Amino acid sequence: MLKIRKLLARQGYRYLLIGGSVYLLELTVIFVAQQLGASAVVAVSLSFWIGLCVSFLLQKLITFGDKRTHRKLLIPQLAAFSLLVLFNFFFTISVAKVLSDTLPATVTRTIALAMTTTWNFYLYKTRIFKTDESPIY
C-alpha cells in the first residue's frame, strides 16, 4: 500500500494511470460503436471526443492538481488545450484512415494514442497546466 501511495504521488504515474483508464474507456466506445454499425473512422472519432473530455478533466484536476478557474488563466489554458485537441484529433483520424485497411480501429487508435501521449504530457506539464508563479501560456 505504501508503494502504491509513493507511485501515485508522482505526476507521471498519475498521468499514465488516468490515461490508461481513459484508454480502456475509448476501446469500449470503439467496440460498442462498431457493434452498432459505425465505421472504424466514426468509432475512433467518437472514442476520441469522449476520451478527451474525461481525460482533460481528470488530468487537469488530479494529475496536475490545477484547480485554477479564474478567467485570466482559464481562457489561455482553454485556447492552448483547444489547439492541442484539434491537432491530436486530425492526427488520430489521419492515422485511422491511413491504417484502416490493414489494422483494426482499436490498433490504429492505440498507435495514435501512444504518440500523442508523449507530447501531451510535456505540453500539459510545461505549458497548459503549469502551476508555478509564472505560467508559460
Up-side HSE of residue 79: CA atoms within 13 Å toward CB?
7
Judge whether 134 lies within some domain: no
pLDDT at res. 75: 85
pLDDT class of 74 with cuts at 50, 70, 90:
confident
CA distance 11 to 131: 13
Judge whether 94 lies within some domain: yes
Judge whether 36 lies within some domain: yes
pLDDT at res. 82: 84
pLDDT class of 117 with cuts at 50, 70, 90:
confident
pLDDT tens readout for residues 14-58 = 998 998 999 899 999 999 999 999 999 999 999 988 988 888 888
Please count the structural domains in the chain: 1
pLDDT at res. 133: 54
Which cell numbers in the block locate residue 24?
480502456
Q: Which residue range is the domain that position 78 belongs to? A: 2-128
136 or 98: which leads in pLDDT: 98
Query: Out of 4-13, 48-57, 106-115, which region has the weakest mean confidence (pLDDT)?
Result: 4-13
Q: Rounded to a whole number, what is the largest CA-CA distance in the chain?
A: 50
pLDDT at res. 15: 92
Judge whether 95 lies within some domain: yes
pLDDT over threshold 50, residue 128: yes
DSSP notation for 37-90: T--HHHHHHHHHHHHHHHHHHHIIIIIS------HHHHHHHHHHHHHHHHHHHH
Burial of residue 47, with CB atoms counted within 10 A of its CB: 0-12 exposed, 13-18 middle, 19 or more buried? buried
Judge whether 135 lies within some domain: no
Judge whether 70 lies within some domain: yes
Judge whether 136 lies within some domain: no
Judge whether 102 lies within some domain: yes
Among residues 46, 22, 25, 31, the alpha carbon closest in space to that of 120 is found at: 22
Phi-psi region of 73 (alpha: psi -120 to 50; beta: other; left: phi over 0): alpha
pLDDT over threshold 50, residue 126: yes
Which cell numbers in the block locate residue 62?
488530479
